[in-house]
Structure 1
């Protein structure tokens, strides 16, 4: 996969792929750091409180390898990442930054750009089919939704791609190379779902050995560990989100091997843990009840407990409302003892959040498909999902 930057990330949620030297697959990952031969101008930002080097590619987008961050996901200084947030609240000093958002209703809304070739369209459909048939993920071509990912042709003659991390409003993008194959595209959809690279997990040394002496100059940070992994489930050496043994190799020698010395091949399909982890993060059903007409959406859902560790996709009740755990926050689903959503879109007439504005308690904004209201304690309260 084409990588142009460095990354200090976490995983159970991550991946950039690499050259495949020992596998039965016919697909290989182009490993050209920069087609222009120029060294990217890297700057330091912070993601989930940890340092990361990124390239500013304009319009509020920053690239790190094959991952595209929005400006709202990064900070200029290290801010403590709250792994156990209170349902519905977001620290106002973050300016709604630092977040990774899952797709509402398990559905990726997408637009196919006119620049795509017929082969790129076929690869896109095949890759979506891998996710669609094996997980709870669904895909819908955009009609009037206010959040979506645009899939376009980057024009680069490579089996490479890059993708936005999670839902990023109307700016989400998957950039495909001319020769992008299904393995790479399946991987990029993983990033769009919110997954990072697997080898950045804090516990990765229990499962793989890293060989820094074989890693390309400037790429060592791609293999650094993070304490703030947000990927689901256990470490998975078979994940679609892990590097191959030769990704970023500078001398043809492996940069990463399993503990028993086995090579990690280029992956072209979802692993069993990819599937179970995705279904954990994106469970079936959108409410707590069984969907019956007289069922309280909070029925059978436990109350939130302070200090307890929750996983993405978990649901709790809190102060009379149902919440679902996202990667970095809780999203309010609705009020308990309510069987139907409000008749009107709660976001109608509310302006999008702007980092350049000052807000006072009581102010409301929309952000990434949700309504937020600033509380007296200067924390943003997630007041519910916007209508489509």
Structure 2
């Protein structure tokens, strides 16, 4: 597969504005008071050291991005930048990193705490994504994996969201005055995208003014050298922070190389956002109808064999030892066996994984839209995508 024109993990991991701005001569934004009395802990994210706030229950806040225990580690060595297909056998619930939503579909629940305005903002933001990309949305009926959208009660144009699927769940917390600009950004986080300003090549395009950044927010501006660059840096990405985001003195935190500030965000996806999302969530990976229940008709025909040392991007497919694999943000997912005749959904009749259950070798569970089997070494092996 030709990867030269594919876009990047950070790009598609680059669409969020949760704690949106303050008011300056060139841009209106929320006044974000500097955090005081909040204890930050050091963790590794994608192999890079960051400081996060421990919210309890295994959730940590990095600004508007909510990270789980399974996405963080205490050592950089626990992150494998280039895993081998089929050898990413893992203990479910640990070290799974960033994971896409199955079938290009976000299943969602609108919590009863939401106001009519928040619901309208949410639907408008979903429409922006679904009308321009392969992403679809479906209100939950009985699906096991879904994101819950709630009102956090804060009187602000702000929000926060989990990064990708956490187990089988996700969450978006909306402020009372959350706008489409912010909500479109938070959906980007839900899809698995991190911030554009953390790209390893960002210094070729912008300057980060750490002297103007609030204490405790510095990690949101640190470069992540393990994020995969596929496209060009995109100053217009919905995942790009505003020029004054997290300012402690009403001075810009981000400028262009000439010292000027970039235009304020708009409630829309950039061309790079659209191209990146359609590469990561490719057409045909869902059923096209957006109901979240379909599978893929992919086969191994025409797909190249995995090559050690070659760089692969999210959405790339390879064959390896007789199976078709697709690259996720931090792992390979086994899709199906080459030349196998589909026999219906491989997950039919298999119960979802539960932390409260005791399992024995040979047991199978579903987890994040995939079938897993417990091996004799008590590690779970990905057996393929549900729907096949």
TM-score range, shorter chain: 0.7 to 0.9
Moved more, 77-86 or 199-208: 77-86
Structural mapping, 1:157-172, within 5 Å: 157-172=155-170
Taking the aligned partners of 1:156 and 1:231, their CA distance within structure 2 comes to: 35
Give 5+ residue unaligned stretches, structure 1: 1-9, 288-294
Taking the aligned partners of 1:367 and 1:89, their CA distance within structure 2 comes to: 17
Taking the aligned partners of 1:343 and 1:129, their CA distance within structure 2 comes to: 29
Give the CA deviation at 1:122: 0.5
Give the CA deviation at 1:216: 2.2
Structural mapping, 1:326-337, within 5 Å: 326-337=328-339
Q: Does 1:130 align with 2:128?
A: yes
Equivalent residue number for residue 320 of structure 2:
318
The answer to whether the Cα contact below 8 Å between 2:90 and 2:381 also exists between their aligned partners in 1 is: no
Structural mapping, 1:37-56, within 5 Å: 38-56=36-54
Moved more, 141-150 or 163-172: 163-172
Residue of structure 1 aligned with 2:112, choices 107, 111, 114: 114
User: Quick one: structure 1 residues 387 and 71, their matched pair in 2 at CA, closer, same or farther if it must change by over 3 Å?
Assistant: farther
Taking the aligned partners of 2:174 and 2:148, their CA distance within structure 1 comes to: 11
User: Quick one: structure 1 residues 310 and 353, their matched pair in 2 at CA, closer, same or farther if it must change by over 3 Å?
Assistant: farther
Equivalent residue number for residue 88 of structure 2:
90
User: Quick one: structure 1 residues 297 and 387, their matched pair in 2 at CA, closer, same or farther if it must change by over 3 Å?
Assistant: closer
Residue of structure 2 aligned with 1:70, choices 68, 71, 78: 68
The answer to whether the Cα contact below 8 Å between 1:111 and 1:141 also exists between their aligned partners in 2 is: yes
If the length of structure 2 is used for normalisation, what is the TM-score?
A: 0.85
Q: Does 1:302 align with 2:322?
A: no
If the length of structure 1 is used for normalisation, what is the TM-score?
A: 0.85
Q: Does 1:270 align with 2:269?
A: yes
Give the CA deviation at 1:346: 5.4
Equivalent residue number for residue 5 of structure 1:
none
Equivalent residue number for residue 368 of structure 1:
368
Give the CA deviation at 1:309: 0.9
Moved more, 78-87 or 207-216: 78-87
Taking the aligned partners of 2:232 and 2:351, their CA distance within structure 1 comes to: 43
* Residues 280-303 of structure 1, C-alpha deviations (whole Å, 9 max, x = no match): 11110129xxxxxxx872222122
3-state DSSP of counterpart to 1:72: helix
Taking the aligned partners of 2:160 and 2:298, their CA distance within structure 1 comes to: 42
Give the CA deviation at 1:261: 2.8
Equivalent residue number for residue 280 of structure 2:
281
Give the CA deviation at 1:312: 0.5
Structural mapping, 1:1-388, within 5 Å: 11-12=10-11, 13-14=13-14, 15-16=16-17, 17-19=20-22, 21=24, 28-33=28-33, 38-90=36-88, 92=90, 96-230=94-228, 233-268=231-266, 269-286=268-285, 297-343=299-345, 345=347, 348-349=350-351, 351-352=353-354, 362=362, 364-375=364-375, 380-386=380-386
Equivalent residue number for residue 291 of structure 2:
none
Moved more, 334-343 or 157-166: 334-343
The answer to whether the Cα contact below 8 Å between 1:364 and 1:371 also exists between their aligned partners in 2 is: yes
Give the CA deviation at 1:143: 1.2
Instruction: Output the aligned Cα RMSD.
Output: 2.8
Give 5+ residue unaligned stretches, structure 2: 1-8, 287-296
3-state DSSP of counterpart to 1:270: coil
3-state DSSP of counterpart to 2:117: helix
Taking the aligned partners of 1:168 and 1:94, their CA distance within structure 2 comes to: 11
3-state DSSP of counterpart to 1:89: coil
